[in-house]
A and B are shown apart, each in its own frame.
Chain A
Amino acid sequence: MGMLDAIILIILSLTVLATVMTTSLLQAAIGLAVTSALLTVVMFKLNAPLAALFELSVCAGLIPVIFITVISLTKPLSNEEMKTESREKMTRFWPLPIVFILAGIIAAYLKIRISLKLPMHGPSLDVRQVLWSVRQIDLIGQLAVLLAGAFAILVLFKEMRRK
């Protein structure tokens, strides 16, 4: 792990903190996109380009757009409501940075010496080979989940329109 990795990880954790602690939902959605983009950089550095590509296009691109669509469909808070909301939120969320720092210090002190007992892996395959040949059932499952999701959305919006 180099200096650049350390800097990226620190920025990543700061972005996560900002995403959770911000009072604006729009800022939280944008923070989520930035978190995904930073995670993509880490994935590229860890030699996982295909997963990084998916993460960048789907998690940093599509999901924040879905969240921003929901936010745009809802009514914004008035200024007074916003003030009370942010005050209330601060009382709930101020311990998070302390929890973060404490957990980090404790984990770094213990250095989490995990020993994984894993079987020796076979010949190293290409990710496309694994995806299309070894894990075919996963792909069928993905298709089933996608169809179920599309069906659920259809039913949901049909109900909403009827009401």
Chain B
Amino acid sequence: MITIGSLWPFFIFASLIFIAGIYCVVMTYNMVKLLIGLELMIKAVTFLLIVAGYVTNNMANAQALVITLIVIEVVIMTVAVGVVLGIYFYTGSLDSRLIRRLKG
């Protein structure tokens, strides 16, 4: 059994970053801001992975996972930004309320 000991503030701050990301995604209508919220959530997960690796003394695996996560994050963000730009050129706005009536 492994306990987190004196590292509990790291877990608290990681969950706070995640809460801020969720709040941003739920409350905003701007699509770039929405992606920023998503990015914050991914950062919280990265932070948690590193802290978990430190606690379990398994840093090599944690770092390998984080590197994979970062690569996938970049690809997701690039494609998402391309989609947002496409929507902007179509509607002339970054407001997500304007794309409620899309087909599909």
Contact = CB atoms under 8 A, between A and B. Distances in A.
The answer to whether A and B interact is: yes
Interface of A: 1, 5-6, 9, 12-13, 16-17, 19-20, 25, 28-29, 32, 35-36, 39, 42-43, 46-48, 50-51, 54-55, 58-59, 62-63, 66-67, 69-71, 73-75, 92-93, 96, 99-100, 103-104, 107-108, 111-118, 121, 124-127, 129-131, 134-135, 138, 141-142, 145-146, 148-149, 152-153, 156-157, 159-160, 163
Contact of A138 (B6, B68, B94): B68
B82 A156 contact: yes
Tell me the dominant secondary structure on chain A's binding face: helix
Contacts of B76: 149
18 contacts: A16-B20, A32-B40, A46-B54, A48-B53, A51-B46, A54-B66, A59-B70, A63-B77, A66-B77, A66-B78, A93-B23, A107-B15, A116-B3, A118-B2, A124-B60, A149-B78, A152-B79, A153-B79
A86 B29 CA distance: 13
Tell me the dominant secondary structure on chain B's binding face: helix
Interface of B: 1-4, 6-13, 15-17, 19-21, 23-24, 27-28, 30, 32-33, 35-37, 39-40, 43, 46-47, 50-68, 70-79, 81-86, 88-90, 92, 94
